[in-house]
Structure 1
Amino acid sequence: MLTYTFTNIGSDSLYQHLYKCIKNDILQGKLGTGERLPSKRPFAKNLGISVITVENAYEQLIAEGYIYSIPKKGFYISDLKREPLFSHTSKNKNIILSKPASAYIADFTNNQTDSQIFPFTIWAKTMREILNENQEQLMINPPCGGILELRTSIASYLQEFRGMHVRPEQIIIGAGTEYLYSLLIQLLGKDLTYGLENPGYPKTAKIYESFHVPYHYIDIDKEGISASSLEDQNISVIHISPSHHFPTGIVMPISRRYELLGWAARKTDRYIIEDDYDSELRLSGKPVPTLQSIDVSDHVIYINTFTKTLSSTVRISYMILPETLAEKYYETLSFYSCTVSNFEQYALAKFMANGSFEKHINRLRNYYQTKRDSILSTFKNSPLDKYITITEEESGVHFLMHINTPKTEEQLLLAARSKGIKLAPLSAYYNGFADSSVLNTYVMNYSSINLNNLDQIAESLYQIVK
């Protein structure tokens, strides 16, 4: 007869412990298919436990399918029709569930937001007000495009500060731009050919690949994408960042913008996805007018995000669909639930409507301008200055730094990493071989750089390149 010990069973009850013992013997093959288990009363007497304990253990095993009962005959081991679970081991024992703390004194590849710049006090106050005033609304599922209050606040903000006239119904809220891209692919169709800027943001290509849609890289010149190159590649949908191209930082001139709008207007299935990812952070002059604001043919899909202006961990983005596409979206994709929680939507709507967002943007610009100026001043006033050239520093939270050195990019990257500095070469954003003119040019994202380390950063870079 089966025998199990009931000492040191931890927090388990007696029946749970017995259930686990029998289950383990089944999974390890010690109890085979069709083998009869002891009757309840003799089994309980042999183990020194109550009959009800054995009954509860058997009932749990029956419920999970490990054993079955035949009336007036007993309990038997089920045929699991599989290998014992304990024979399987993980093929990858190094799965990373979270990123370790950075060991770098400066990570110029990181776009993480400084905690000191997030408006925690105002945001917490806004959240408390929402929890007190909007309790009923918080429990109602939002429309597929997001709550009307947030979309109205975004529409008002865009009209006042970006010169864009859109209806709230054209605005679709989503948890991150990657999610919105996936909606667009479903909305526009997988039979179209999509285009990406080269160089450009690498994640967009991965999204297109995951949906198995055809796409081509389109080389940019000093003014961005040209319409003739789109015609040559038979592109139907082109993704661009005209107000501050990533990663080169160039601004598309108005002549090229009208050229692209003309290209899109010539066919009904052509669209321009305008990614305006950091337009609010232009540090000098007014924000560059959007392509959407001068589009009269309804062929521009505008996308923006709050990850740059609030926090990299705030996964709230939005897209503005042309009128005809908005109607199609509600007809074909309205079964999707909005992926941003009501709590965050109502809080952000109030944060924008009461003027807190505008004040935060102004504070953010000043903060990043001071940070950028400190970095550039430290570099300029150090021996490093004669080895570097800084460009595209007027917009966003990154600039380009070319290093004049005979070392290869690989040598320089390894040397920098050995001194605790992580760099991102511009050439890494190209599909295929980058022109030699961009080699040893680095995309310097400074949003998370600790200014207390500036002298050490400048000295370390100087030691690497001198």
Structure 2
Amino acid sequence: MTQTSWLAFSIDRTSKTPVFEQICAAIRKRAISGELSEGTKLPPTRVFAADVGVSRSTIVTAYEQLVSEGYLDSLQGSGYTVCAMCEVELPNKTKRAQLTLEEGPEKKVLPFEASQPDMRLFPHRQWAKAVSRVCRTNPQAMLVGGSSFGNFELRRAIAAHVSEWRGIEALPHQIMVTAGSTDALEICLRTLLKKGDTIGLENPGYLPMRHFADAHGLFTNFLAIDESGAKLPTDAGLTRLVVLTPSHQYPLGGAMSPSRRLEYLQWATKEDAWVVEDDYDSEFRYSGRPIPAMSGFDNLNRTIYIGSFSKIFSNSLRLGYAIVPEPLIARFRTTMRRFGLKASFMPQQALAEFMASGEFYRHLRRVRRNYGERRKFLLERLALEFSQFGYVRDHQAGMQIVFHLTEGCKDTEIARRASEQGITVVPLSIFSKGNSVYNGLIMGFCAYSEEEMELALELLKTCFCEARSGHSG
């Protein structure tokens, strides 16, 4: 009898339900029914994986999901044990079936949508504790923000976070809570530019910024990307502001060289211009330490730093932040008074307590480990089975990779064929203005298990083969 015979169940390989979710469901059922009592120790991930016949990362994903839901406890060096269960009445199957019929099935996101966190790994129990604590001790903080820049406790927590993780020394009064990084970028445009001004944008670059520039009546100076990062503006002082992604260029990946960063700071000082540093997913670096932020090197002299919680915590909270230089604080406050704060006050105090308790960083380490394993899986599969179609430049960072296509494959055609199969891959060429020399697919991996990506890769390979055969015919 194996160590997992007490948890014996069969995996349905034909089911659309991912394997790790099947494992979660089996453990949940036994925990709720009392078959697994409080303190029962689950088998080590490697043992369980070998016994069930799946990868170890699948078991790790299942265990961590159950930890986040409160069914399991995880202690360093002690493995996973079953938590105490209160008496729970299992839902009536008939009623649940009727409810599903009335509401309709929830649409499932398929690989490989980029920049999406896996909300199945969200720390529900720990977050609920933080929200409950605020409701008991300081409920008014969930409705009253106290400042046009947002909740003070959250701004103080953000100041500590960027000091430790990004090397930025800022005071809470310099930090503005926003409804995500996109909101922060638009606030910068409203504050620092007027209609007819020129903005510098990376090319290829973040599409919403191009749309914002057009909507605000700005002229755009497109900055080509070379091996050192975005090239400097050469329009003799016309460009008043540039938006850069120096730690992890979007969408190509890669980091801006130290010399190019210095050149931009010297340019901004000389031209009395501003650099907006969009650091949207800097926490996800899978080798070595995070690259220091440009704003830290600049001491927030000519740079505005933008960060987000949507990628590392929850995309449904819609919270981000901007850190502005001291001389700009009054101008940004005027903008906020004119246009109002879009970020909801409701979750801000709870997020501040969640960060102060250390749970935020435990969650960050957990998801980064999971994402790192998924990224490794995707890179290995692409190198093994897709090398005839393209290649990946591995930048050891981010929430997506770019699969650069070889001759004979056009990214827009592959993306169209993949969409017909229910697969999301975005053509790289659409991010470039003008005659694009870029030809590739942007592929996200964070929100998907290995089993989910496995099936999608099989379908994607069929798309490549059909496209090639169509051209040769």
Cα offset, 1:355, TM superposition: 1.1
2:425 pairs with one of 423, 426, 431: 423
1:209 pairs with one of 209, 214, 218: 214
Deviations 1:379-423 (A, max 9, x none): 344x43443312235101111112335243343233323333222
Amino acid across the alignment from 1:424: V
Corresponding residue number in structure 2 for 1:298: 301
Cα offset, 1:302, TM superposition: 0.4
Cα offset, 1:337, TM superposition: 4.2
Q: Does the 8 Å contact 1:282/1:394 carry over to 2?
A: yes
2:426 alignment partner, SS class: coil
Corresponding residue number in structure 1 for 2:434: 432
Counterparts of 1:158-173 in structure 2, within 5 Å, are 158-173=162-177
| 2:244 is the counterpart of 1:237 | no
Counterparts of 1:51-130 in structure 2, within 5 Å, are 106-130=110-134
1:362 alignment partner, SS class: helix
Q: Does the 8 Å contact 1:384/1:458 carry over to 2?
A: no
Unpaired segments of 5 or more residues in structure 1? Answer: 1-98
Cα offset, 1:277, TM superposition: 0.3
2:347 alignment partner, SS class: helix
Deviations 1:326-363 (A, max 9, x none): 13333564455433333311011001111111111111
Q: Does the 8 Å contact 2:184/2:321 carry over to 1?
A: yes
Mean alpha-carbon deviation: is it higher for 391-400 or for 167-176?
391-400
Cα offset, 1:198, TM superposition: 0.6
Q: Does the 8 Å contact 2:300/2:324 carry over to 1?
A: no
Q: Does the 8 Å contact 1:103/1:420 carry over to 2?
A: no
Corresponding residue number in structure 2 for 1:345: 348
Provide the rounded CA distance (Å) in 2 between the counterparts of 1:306 and 1:392: 25
Q: Does the 8 Å contact 1:264/1:299 carry over to 2?
A: yes
Q: 1:346 to 1:146 in 2, by over 3 A?
A: same
| 2:137 is the counterpart of 1:133 | yes
Counterparts of 1:246-265 in structure 2, within 5 Å, are 246-265=250-269
Cα offset, 1:307, TM superposition: 0.5
| 2:453 is the counterpart of 1:454 | yes
Unpaired segments of 5 or more residues in structure 2? Answer: 1-103, 466-473
| 2:400 is the counterpart of 1:401 | no
Aligned residues: 361
2:315 pairs with one of 307, 312, 315: 312
Q: TM-score, normalised by structure 2?
A: 0.71
Provide the rounded CA distance (Å) in 2 between the counterparts of 1:103 and 1:146: 34
The share of aligned pairs that are identical, in percent, is 29
Q: TM-score, normalised by structure 1?
A: 0.72
Counterparts of 1:165-184 in structure 2, within 5 Å, are 165-184=169-188
2:311 alignment partner, SS class: coil
Cα offset, 1:182, TM superposition: 2.9
Q: 1:414 to 1:205 in 2, by over 3 A?
A: closer
Corresponding residue number in structure 2 for 1:72: none
Mean alpha-carbon deviation: is it higher for 403-412 or for 341-350?
403-412
Corresponding residue number in structure 2 for 1:226: 231
Provide the rounded CA distance (Å) in 1 between the counterparts of 2:300 and 2:182: 26
Provide the rounded CA distance (Å) in 2 between the counterparts of 1:258 and 1:452: 44
Q: 1:231 to 1:450 in 2, by over 3 A?
A: same
Provide the rounded CA distance (Å) in 2 between the counterparts of 1:451 and 1:346: 35
Q: Does the 8 Å contact 1:384/1:459 carry over to 2?
A: no
Cα offset, 1:317, TM superposition: 0.7
Q: Does the 8 Å contact 2:117/2:447 carry over to 1?
A: yes
Corresponding residue number in structure 2 for 1:387: 389
Deviations 1:155-182 (A, max 9, x none): 0111122211101000011112232233
Q: Does the 8 Å contact 2:285/2:398 carry over to 1?
A: yes
Provide the rounded CA distance (Å) in 1 between the counterparts of 2:461 and 2:182: 38
2:161 alignment partner, SS class: helix
Provide the rounded CA distance (Å) in 2 between the counterparts of 1:422 and 1:186: 33
Corresponding residue number in structure 2 for 1:84: none
Q: 1:132 to 1:313 in 2, by over 3 A?
A: same
Corresponding residue number in structure 2 for 1:17: none
Q: Does the 8 Å contact 1:216/1:233 carry over to 2?
A: no
Mean alpha-carbon deviation: is it higher for 336-345 or for 253-262?
336-345
